[in-house]
Amino acid sequence: MIRFLKYSLLTVLLCLATIADAQTQNYREMHKVKKGETIFGIAKKYEISIEELIKANPDMNSVGYELKKGDYIFIPYPTGKPATTTSKDKSAQQNKTVAAKTNTVKVGIMLPLHNVDGDGRRMVEYYRGILMGCDKLKKEGINIDIKAWNVAIDTDINQTLSQQGATDCDVIFGPLYSKQVPALSEFTKKHGIKLVIPFSITGNDVAKNPNIFQVYQSPELFYGEVVKQFTTRFSGSHVVVVDCNDKQSDKGVFTFTLRKALADKGMTCSITNITNSDESFAKAFSTTKPNIVVLNTARSPELNAVIAKLDKYKATMPSVKVSLFGYTEWLMYAKYNMDKFCKYDTCVPSHFYYNPLSTATKDFSTEYLKKFDQSMMDYMPRFAITGYDHAMFFIRGISKQGKLFNGTEPDAKALQAQLKFRKADGQNSGMQNQNLMFVHYNTNKTISIIQF
């Protein structure tokens, strides 16, 4: 299975930023250096030559290098022995029996796995989540051979693709950088490998490569689906668009698309400005229909200012129904605005939701801390959970369906984001993620997820 990388690999990734070459090879395990150990003694313990050990750990060639207690070093397979991923734990024999019944899913990771910058640290966490997913899948009887490459922003991905093991993959997760997509797309298309592009990229390779699963949704695609669901769910409402005078906002994509859809469906809409007087602001609201308030920015200061104006309006017009419809960024403000969000029956469109109160999420967070001696980074979405969900969705699906897997059936047990794919434009196109949810802050101070 995947014990040759397991979690100690990620510990090394956090400690050293110079092991990129080592990550492109197979290793049977990692060794944590104990006080008094020597290179000779470690090589002897694992029945390998000193030369093999040094080759697996190039830093040992550095002038003045010395082993230090607590360091992690790679332990390679002895020359001539296959680089398998069979576990050495007590369940090894059971795993061999399972392996005889099921095919092994060969997984490649081509992402920046380093500690140089934020990109690397986030991708390390994402990779850890994949490993945790693989451990769970292993318990389900699925065999996995996982191989990781450190593909940094300046990496020539063609060199990575020429290395041993790349052509053997059933699925590759990556890359992070748009400039590396065309070469990786052509490679996976040529060799019949499924390519999961997990994060934001530019370009439209998904339109011409049937092997691509593009998880990231462009603003145009995402907001187009949001508008579709908005006009259906709030068909009997009056929409109030608040111009917040934020010249840097990119939310005009949404409000422009929304206003056009409202006009096409004959829904009423009015526009007001955040600087308008209370009297002028109140004129934008309907006294006979439910009102849905939409801002043209996701910024917190403007949101707070609009909520303050709504509070004044509701104080004078308590019988008028007023709701808020926001942006994914608002999820970051929820812990500060929970009461206000619930007061205004707020819906936030998103492709993910991290629920820290969920039992499953708590269990995952506890397990992550136990395995890696640190908590997940405070990002939205949580990268470790993203990696876990992706592993569970794609690796399990490929194990069950092989090359027929198309990702159209969502995983209802996803911790943070269900994935749901459909073909992008064109008969020979790949699969585009269409997942959408509304995070609903109910007036009874509960949160519900409306999944589309």
SS (H, E, C) 81-104: CCCCCCCCCCCHHHHHHHHHHCCE
Q: Where are the beta strands (DSSP E) in 244-300?
A: 269-273, 291-295
Least trusted range by pLDDT, from 60-64, 222-226, 316-320, 402-406 = 60-64
What's the burial of 436, exposed, middle or buried (CB within 10 Å: 0-12/13-18/19+)?
buried
Token output for 128: 């850890």
Residue 372 CB partners (closer than 8 Å, separation 6+): 7, 10, 11, 128
Using alpha carbons, list the distances in angstroms from residue 166 to 113, 184, 193, 341: 17, 11, 10, 48
CB of 84 closer than 8 Å to CB of 27: no
- Judge if pTM exceeds 0.85: no
Q: What distance in Å separates the CA atoms of residue 293 and residue 125, rounded to the nearest whole number?
A: 37
Residue 140 DSSP label: T
292, 307, 187: which is closest to 241 by C-alpha? Answer: 292
For residue 414, the model assigns a pLDDT of 93
Displacement of CA 199 from its chain's centroid (Å): 7
Q: Which residues pair with residue 41 across a beta bridge?
A: none
Token output for 331: 């999820």
113, 111, 139: which is closest to 20 by C-alpha? Answer: 113
Q: In this predicted model, what pLDDT tens digit does every residue of 91-139 receive, in sequence order?
A: 444 443 333 334 799 999 999 999 889 999 999 999 999 999 999 999 9
Q: Please, what CATH class does the domain formed by 10-18+90-217+354-434 belong to?
A: alpha beta
CB of 323 closer than 8 Å to CB of 344: yes
Residue 366's CB: how many other CB atoms inside 10 A? 11
The CATH number of the structural domain formed by 27-82 is 3.10.350.10
Q: What distance in Å separates the CA atoms of residue 330 and residue 304, rounded to the nearest whole number?
A: 11
Is 220-350 assigned to CATH 3.40.50.2300? yes
Domain assignments of the chain as residue spans, ordered by start: 10-18+90-217+354-434, 27-82, 220-350
Count of all residues that appear for the chain in the document: 452
Topology alike, domains 10-18+90-217+354-434 and 27-82: no
Calculate the average pLDDT of the chain.
Answer: 86
pLDDT band at 402 (very low <50, low <70, confident <90, very high): very high
Q: In this predicted model, what pLDDT tens digit does every residue of 235-247 receive, in sequence order?
A: 999 999 999 999 8
For residue 16, the model assigns a pLDDT of 37
Q: In this predicted model, what pLDDT tens digit does every residue of 125-177 receive, in sequence order?
A: 999 999 999 999 999 999 999 999 999 999 999 999 999 899 999 999 999 99
For residue 7, the model assigns a pLDDT of 38
